[in-house]
Structure 1
Amino acid sequence: MNTKNHKLYLLLLALMYSTTGLASGDHDHENEPTIAQTEHADHDDADTDEHGHGEEENTVHLSDEQRQAAGIEVEALELHPLAEEIEAPGEVSLNAYATSQITPRIEAQVVKRFARLGDDITEGQPLVMLSSATMAEAQGALLIAAKEWHRVKKLGKQVVSEQRHLESRVAYQQAYSRLLAYGMTEKQANQLVNNSAIGKADGSFTIMSPQNGTVIRDDFIIGQMAQPGDLLFEITDESTIWVEARVNPGLMRQVHVGAPARILSSGKWISGKVIQIHHALDEVTRTMAVRLEIPNPGDHLHPGQFVTTRIETGQSDQTVLSLPTDAIMRSPDGDWQVFVEKEPGEYEPVEVEVIRQIPGLAVIDGLAPGTRVVIKGAFFIQSELAKSSFEVHNH
Structure 2
Amino acid sequence: MNSRNNPMNSKTSTPLMAALLLAFAQAPALAADGHGSPATTAASAPGESDDHRHGQQAEGHERQERSRAHGHAQADEGHDHQRGEADHDEDGLALTPAQSAIAGIEVATVMETELSFRHPLPAQLQANPNLTSALSLPVDARVIARHVAPGQAVTQGDPLLTLASSAIADAQGRYLLAQAEWRRVKSLGNQAVSAGRYQQARIDLETGLQDLLALGMTQAQIDDLNTPEYRLGQFTLLAPHDGNVQQDNSVMQQNLPALTTLMVLADEHTLWATAQVAPSQSALVTIGQTLTLRIDDDLAAARVIGRDHRLDPRTRTESVRLELANPDHRLHAGQFATVYLSQSQRRGVVLPDTALARNPDGDWMVYRYDGGRFTATEVQVLSALEGMNLVSGIKPGSQVAVQGAFFLASEQAKSGFEIHNH
In the superposition, the TM-score normalised over structure 2's length comes to 0.56
Deviations 1:269-289 (A, max 9, x none): 654232211022222223322
In structure 2, C-alpha distance between the alignment counterparts of 1:294 and 1:332, rounded to whole Å: 36
Counterpart for residue 320 of structure 1:
347
Equivalent residue for 1:201, pick from 231, 252, 260 = 231
1:277 has 2:307 as partner: yes
More divergent stretch after superposition (114-123 vs 329-338): 329-338
Q: Distance in 2 between matches of 1:306 and 1:204?
A: 41
- Whether 2:244 is the aligned partner of 1:214: answer yes
Shift of 1:102: 0.6
Contact 1:103 1:231 in 2 (8 A): yes
Classify 1:21/1:187 alpha carbon distance in 2 versus 1 (closer, same or farther; 3 Å). farther
For the 8 Å contact 1:238–1:299, the answer to whether it is kept is: no
Residue 34 (structure 1) aligned to one of 67, 72, 77: 77
SS in 1 for 2:264: strand
- In the alignment, what sits opposite 1:180? 213
Of structures 1 and 2, the one scoring higher in RCO (CA 8 A, sep 6+) is 1
How far apart are residue 206 of structure 1 and its match? 1.2
Amino acid at match of 2:265: I
**Match of residue 70 from structure 1:** none
Q: How far apart in 2 are the matches of 1:14 and 1:75?
A: 68
User: Is 1:106 the counterpart of 2:139 in the alignment?
Assistant: yes
Question: In the alignment, which residue of structure 2 is the partner of 1:14?
Answer: 33
Does the residue aligned with 2:250 lie in a helix, a strand or coil?
coil
Q: Residues 102-157 of structure 1: CA distance to partner in whole angstroms, max 9, x if unpaired?
A: 1113332111222333333333222211012233355567778889999x9xxxx9
- For 2:228, give the aligned amino acid: A
- In structure 1, stretches of 5+ residues that fail to align are 59-73, 343-347, 380-392
Distance 2:188 2:250 in 1: 51
Aligned to 1:201, what secondary structure does the other structure show? Answer: coil
Task: Say which one has the larger Rg.
Answer: 2
* Aligned residue type for 2:263: F
* 1:157-203 deviation digits (Å, cap 9, x = unpaired): 9xx75569xx8x9799756665434322233344554xx334x2232
In structure 1, C-alpha distance between the alignment counterparts of 2:92 and 2:280, rounded to whole Å: 61
Q: Is the 8 A contact 2:243 2:267 kept in 1?
A: yes
Contact 2:284 2:341 in 1 (8 A): no
Q: Does 1:244 align with 2:274?
A: yes
Equivalent AA in structure 1 for residue 77 of structure 2: T
Of the three residues 139, 159, 164, the one matched with 1:126 is 159
Structure 1 stretch displaced more, 170-179 or 182-191 = 170-179
Distance 1:12 1:339 in 2: 63
Structure 2 Cα separation of the partners of residues 336 and 24 of structure 1: 50
Query: Deviations along 1:15-71, whole A, 9 cap, x unmatched?
Result: 474646545546767998934665687899999999xx989999xxxxxxxxxxxxx
Does the Cα contact within 8 Å between 2:309 and 2:318 map onto a contact in 1?
Answer: yes
Task: Name the CA distance, whole Å, in 1 between partners of 2:179 and 2:253.
Answer: 32
User: Matches of 2:297 and 2:322 in 1, distance apart?
Assistant: 19
| Alpha-carbon separation, structure 2, partners of 1:265 and 1:185 | 39
Q: Partner residue of 1:235?
A: 265
RMSD: 5.7
The aligned residue for residue 53 of structure 2 is: none
Pairwise CA distance, 1:100 = 1.3
SS in 1 for 2:311: coil
Residues of 1 paired with 2:160 and 2:369: CA distance? Answer: 57
**1:130 is matched by which residue type in structure 2?**
L
Q: Is the 1:339–1:350 contact (alpha carbons within 8 Å) kept by the matching residues of 2?
A: no
Q: 1:78 to 1:109 in 2, by over 3 A?
A: same
**Residue 246 to residue 55, structure 1, CA distance change in 2 (3 Å):** same
**Total equivalences in the alignment:** 334
CA contact (8 A) 2:274 2:321 kept: yes
- Alpha-carbon distance in structure 2 between the residues aligned to 1:329 and 1:269: 20
2:128 is equivalent to residue 95 of structure 1 = yes
Aligned residues of 1:104 and 1:226 also touching (Cα < 8 A): no
- Map 1:215-364; keep pairs closer than 5 Å: 215-263=245-293, 265-266=295-296, 270-294=300-324, 299-300=330-331, 302-303=333-334, 307-312=337-342, 315=344, 319-321=346-348, 330=354, 355-357=383-385
Distance 2:332 2:369 in 1: 35
TM-score (normalised: structure 1): 0.59
Opposite residue 34 of structure 1, the aligned amino acid is E
What SS is found at the alignment partner of 2:309?
Answer: coil
Amino acid at match of 1:14: D
SS at match of 2:261: coil
Question: For the structure 1 residues 147 and 256, does the alpha-carbon distance in structure 2 shift closer, same or farther, using more than 3 Å as the test?
Answer: closer
Give the match's secondary structure for 1:320: strand
| Matching residue's letter, 1:212 | D
Identity of matched residues, %: 22
Specify the SS of the correspondent of 1:11.
helix
Q: Note the residue ranges of structure 2 that are not aligned, 5 or more in a row.
A: 1-18, 40-59, 100-107, 193-197, 359-364, 404-419
- Cα distance change of structure 1 residues 308 and 298 upon mapping to structure 2, 3 Å threshold: same
Give the deviation of 1:233 after TM superposition. 1.0
* Residues 83 and 206 of structure 1, relative CA distance in 2, 3 Å threshold: same
Q: Which amino acid aligns with 1:285?
A: T
* Residues in 1 aligned to 2:86 and 2:307: alpha-carbon distance in whole angstroms: 67
